């Protein structure tokens, strides 16, 4: 079976960036994605730029648009109001994230998951194949994911990783822990090696020395896009052969490499009609 893809975008901060985002959405919607997600801008999920981006993406595509909603800086009443507003706008899927866990108004992410589920919005949550860097232990991290499942989560998208075995071992641990929700690997094409190193350090993502040297050399030799495509395609192919049917690509608002990955994995490109308001 041909795998299904979903794509993540973030709110643009300039007119030029907005045009690039629109172009990327226009390209990637042809792969009939399961959904397109929009991350929270600065200040959480309810800020105006995030809302505008969600509306703009929704106008370009007929596929579901899934906003990221964070529980870390909001009260339960704030979250209920936000979720009801999204439900009224026809949102059917959302990513429920913890966000700023140190915020004074912090609400457990399980409460957000429950609120989404009871308002007819399918909650997707986050998972860490190499354990959340702030988790007390790998077991407690699995307990947290199980609690989100019990609260109504339908799927979990993982933090990015660079070895297929990382995800497959994580999947095995989840099964053994009674976690049965869909696990979707998060794929990050490495086009900016320095930025990827910083993100990997913050997220606790391992980069093997030989792979790190390969990325660094590709960056020096101006063939980062080729390396990124080859590495991501090889990993996705290994995972697909191991039974993985869905992939979530962190696009960084760029379409060329995500499109190449989809094509290499056999995803058929259609030219959909533009959605009419």
User: For the domain that residue 118 is a member of, what is the CATH number?
Assistant: 3.20.20.220
DSSP string, 95-161: EEE---TT-TT---HHHHHHHHHHTT-EEEEEE-TT--TT-S-HHHHHHHHHHHHHHT--EEEEPP-
Look at 158-167, 180-189, 221-230, 268-277 and tell me which has the smallest mean pLDDT. Answer: 268-277
**Ramachandran sector of residue 262 (left: φ over 0; alpha: ψ -120 to 50; beta: rest):** alpha
Q: CA 154, 172, 64: angle at the middle one, nearest 5?
A: 25
In a domain, 115, yes or no: yes
Look at 47-61, 121-135, 221-235 and tell me which has the smallest mean pLDDT. Answer: 47-61
In a domain, 272, yes or no: no
| pLDDT at residue 105, as a whole number | 54
pLDDT at 97 over 60: yes
Do residues 9 and 258 touch, judged by C-beta distance below 8 A?
A: no
What 8-state DSSP symbol labels residue 242? Answer: T
Query: What pTM was estimated for this model as a whole?
Result: 0.92
| pLDDT at residue 225, as a whole number | 94
pLDDT at 34 over 80: yes
Counting residues of the chain whose pLDDT is more than 70, the rounded percentage is: 92
The partner residues of 73 in beta bridges, in order of sequence, read none
Look at 79-93, 113-127, 169-183, 223-237 and tell me which has the smallest mean pLDDT. Answer: 79-93
Task: Assign 15 to helix, strand or coil.
Answer: helix
Tokens of 220: 């020096």
In a domain, 156, yes or no: yes
Q: Domain limits at 73?
A: 4-264
Q: How confident is the model at residue 106 (pLDDT cuts 50, 70, 90)?
A: low
- Rounded CA-CA distance 255/260 in Å is 9
- Which residue did the predictor score with more confidence, 231 or 272? 231
In a domain, 270, yes or no: no
Encode pLDDT of 152-188 as tens digits. Answer: 999 999 999 999 999 999 999 999 999 999 999 999 9
In a domain, 271, yes or no: no
- Sign of the torsion angle spanned by Cα atoms 177, 124, 12, 233: positive
Q: CA 134, 157, 58: angle at the middle one, nearest 5?
A: 125
- Which residue did the predictor score with more confidence, 190 or 105? 190
Residues forming the active site = 8
- Rounded CA-CA distance 235/241 in Å is 10
Q: Report how many domains make up the chain.
A: 1
Q: How confident is the model at residue 272 (pLDDT cuts 50, 70, 90)?
A: low
In a domain, 125, yes or no: yes
In a domain, 64, yes or no: yes
In a domain, 277, yes or no: no
| E-state strands within the chain | 4-9, 36-38, 65-70, 93-97, 122-127, 155-158, 182-184, 186-187, 246-250
| pLDDT at residue 63, as a whole number | 92
């Amino acid at each position: 079976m041909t795998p299904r893809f979903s794509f993540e975008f973030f709110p643009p901060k300039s007119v030029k960036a907005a045009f690039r985002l629109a172009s990327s959405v226009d390209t990637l919607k042809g792969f009939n994605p399961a959904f397109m997600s929009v991350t929270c801008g600065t200040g959480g999920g309810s800020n105006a730029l995030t809302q505008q981006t969600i509306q703009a993406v929704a106008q370009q595509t007929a596929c579901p648009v899934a906003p990221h909603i964070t529980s870390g800086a909001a009260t339960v009443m704030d979250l209920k109001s936000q979720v009801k507003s999204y439900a009224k706008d026809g949102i059917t899927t959302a990513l429920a994230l913890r966000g700023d866990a140190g915020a004074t108004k912090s609400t457990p992410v399980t409460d957000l998951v429950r609120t989404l589920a009871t308002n007819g919005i399918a909650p997707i949550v986050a998972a860490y194949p190499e354990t959340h860097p702030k988790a007390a232990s790998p077991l407690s991290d699995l307990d947290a994911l199980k609690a989100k499942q019990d609260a109504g989560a339908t799927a979990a998208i993982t933090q990015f990783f660079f070895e297929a075995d990382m995800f497959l071992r994580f999947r095995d641990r989840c099964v053994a822990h009674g976690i049965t929700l869909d696990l979707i690997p998060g794929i990050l094409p490495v086009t900016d090696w320095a930025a990827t190193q910083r993100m990997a350090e913050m997220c606790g993502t391992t980069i093997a020395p030989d792979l790190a040297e390969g990325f660094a050399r590709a960056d020096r030799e101006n063939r980062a896009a080729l390396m990124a495509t080859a590495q991501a395609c090889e990993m996705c192919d290994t995972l697909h052969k191991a039974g993985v049917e869905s992939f979530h690509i962190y696009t960084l608002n760029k379409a060329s490499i995500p499109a190449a990955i989809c094509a290499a994995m056999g995803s058929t490109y259609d030219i959909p009609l533009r959605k009419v308001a």
